[in-house]
Amino acid sequence: MTGPAEEPFIAAVKPLVDAMGGEMLPPDEAGLEDVVLSWEGADVVAVRLPQLADSLDHILAAMERRQGRPLADLDRRTKQEVVRALEARGAFAVRHGVETVASALGVSRFTVYNYLNREKGT
């Protein structure tokens, strides 16, 4: 798939692909929806991006790892911060995003909407 010059490029983009919940594959296996990355004029790696709903699950899991405990175990203030961070990342544009986040936080949809409205000052 790669020559020695491309290895640093792949190593450099891998953390980003992992953070997005994407998958790296050989460029000749890329589908129409995949993104092919080139290095010095040659196609080096293809990136298969996750579906938005899968990406939200991936983001929630990463936030849980960062917190070191289940999101449902966080205090109210920290849950509000999580909701703000998720809103900034577009989590609530995903179908069933509010429900998914509410479930992960162990709160109701109504509570998530309250957190969102509180942030907007309404």
pLDDT of residue 2: 47
First and final C-alpha spacing in the chain: 53
pLDDT of residue 83: 95
Domain coordinates in residue numbering, the chain: 3-46, 51-116
Record the tokens describing residue 2, joined without a space. Answer: 């790669």
Q: What is the pLDDT along the chain (122 residues), one digit of tens a residue?
A: 445 556 889 999 999 888 777 899 999 999 988 999 998 899 999 999 877 667 788 889 889 999 999 999 999 999 999 999 999 888 888 889 999 999 999 999 999 999 998 766 54
The Cα-based distances of 91 to 40, 52, 65, 67, 85 in angstroms read 35, 9, 18, 18, 9
pLDDT of residue 91: 86
Strands 42-48 and 23-25: antiparallel
